[in-house]
Amino acid sequence: MNWESLAFIRRQPLTCISERVRQATRKIRYHQRCQGAPGTMISFRDLAEVFQELEHTSSSSSLIAILAAFLLRLNPEEAKAVAPPFASREFGMAERMVIGAVAQAYATPLQQVDKLAARLGDAGTVAEKLARNNRKPLVAIASVFAQLREITDISGKGSQELKRRTLAQLLAKASGIEAKYILRTVLGSHRIGVGEMIFLRALTKAFAPGAADRNSAEDAYNVLSDLGEVARRMARSGAGGVKRIAPVPGTPVRMMLASRVQALDGVMQHMRGKMFVEYKYDGERVQIHRDPKGDIRLFSRRLERITHQYPEIVDAIKKCELSRQTIIEGEIVAFDTEAKRLLPFQTLMQRRRRHDVEAYVKKAPTALFLFDILLCKGRNLLGAPLTERRKVLQACIKTSRIVHLSQYTMSSDLAGIERYFHQAIADGAEGVVIKL
């Protein structure tokens, strides 16, 4: 039997790693000595050289130290600009299109570029080889990422050709090492061993080194969901720049995740006392925002906009008179409203479409089961206990045929929790989630 437990935190705090302090300090002093004083304009070549050093570093503490030293040299806008490669941002360009941009940038036959790519195994390395004679560095980090954002925003008829041409123009101005890491950024194929968590630790090391602030960057990222904005605020004001951040309607908050346990006894290893035991619905996690203008947006667990997929949920939320400046969370499930019965997840899968949405509203009807509230009429509830949040949720929403509150009980009795689990399964739920 599978159980899930969920502690009341937005996300588990970062595990405190044992850093090799002397090595880290030595790295920072080296970078400060060799690469210039903070406040000077930083070129993309400087960032590319840091990428290259990170690529040849395996120790987590050294990765953090190298990146922290570089971040200390940046102004707030530059710190924001360098975040996308660490946030796995997609630029909407396939490798084939990138190869075409390389051929155009360096006036090289496409067939020759293809052969080089097959031999070298990486479009970035191909560009580095072909751009070897171009020694002029690009002006600034921010300008490069501004142009990459322009590529991301290109859409419509002829967009693929325009993206290819724009990238080719950018590559033509780049030195070899710059071209290499521009392409790896576009393709999301960096080999630097630095993801979101390492970047957040580096931000903390650079701008909030005090023990009391060790989770400040991650806490802010959980609310803002924007690595660049967290970097900008911390580069400007340190830990103070990200304290007391409240959710903002329209900006998704990173969602809590549950830890699965295989037996009921396992729950007691993590929790004590009276617990919320809540139905685990087999559907699509959703975070619903209503902004000051009254507009409603739906976000998935991966923070993608899914408003267009569920027009009936949007309409139902409007009819339930959800207040403006409010953020709630729940699960959208396939649901037979006549029989009041949960339907299989496979039925809900039919709703993951951009076309013929209205037709599938009838073919695969849905319901919404709400279980949490993060913001109510502008009041930040992230720090409030679950018992209080649940009371606020019940007071702020009117239920309907489509909008429901999740079923739950409170218990500290293992036998009672097990009975509730079997009841949830019998009612068509996936299991239970246990919360404090």
Beta carbons of 71 and 231 less than 8 angstroms apart: yes
Amino acid making up residue 152:
T
How far is residue 99's CA from residue 70's CA, in Å, rounded to a whole number? Answer: 30
CATH fit for domain 95-187, picks 1.10.10.10, 1.20.272.10, 1.10.3260.10, 3.40.50.150: 1.10.3260.10
Distance CA 360, CA 371 (A): 26
Tokens, residue 73: 């040299």
280 is catalytic: yes
Beta bridge partners of 289: 297, 327
Q: How far apart are CA 413 and CA 421, in angstroms?
A: 12
Question: Tens place of pLDDT for every residue, the chain, 436 residues?
Answer: 443 434 333 333 333 323 333 344 444 443 443 334 444 568 899 999 999 999 999 899 999 999 999 999 999 999 998 887 777 566 768 889 999 999 999 999 999 999 999 999 889 999 999 987 666 666 688 889 889 888 888 888 888 899 999 999 999 989 899 999 999 988 888 777 788 899 999 999 999 988 778 889 999 999 999 999 999 999 999 999 998 899 999 999 999 888 888 778 778 777 888 899 999 999 999 999 999 999 999 999 999 999 999 999 999 999 998 999 999 999 999 999 889 999 999 999 999 877 788 888 889 999 999 999 999 999 999 999 999 999 999 999 999 999 999 999 999 888 999 999 999 999 999 999 999 8
Domain ranges of the chain: 35-88+193-242, 95-187, 259-435
For residues 280 and 284, what is the distance between their CA atoms, to the nearest angstrom?
Answer: 11
Number of helical H runs and strand E runs in the chain: 19, 12
Q: Please pick, among 80, 173, 180, 280, the residue that the annotation labels catalytic.
A: 280
Q: Does CATH place domain 259-435 in 3.30.470.30?
A: yes
Alpha-carbon distances, residue 268 vs 7, 12, 387, 419 (angstroms):
12, 18, 20, 16
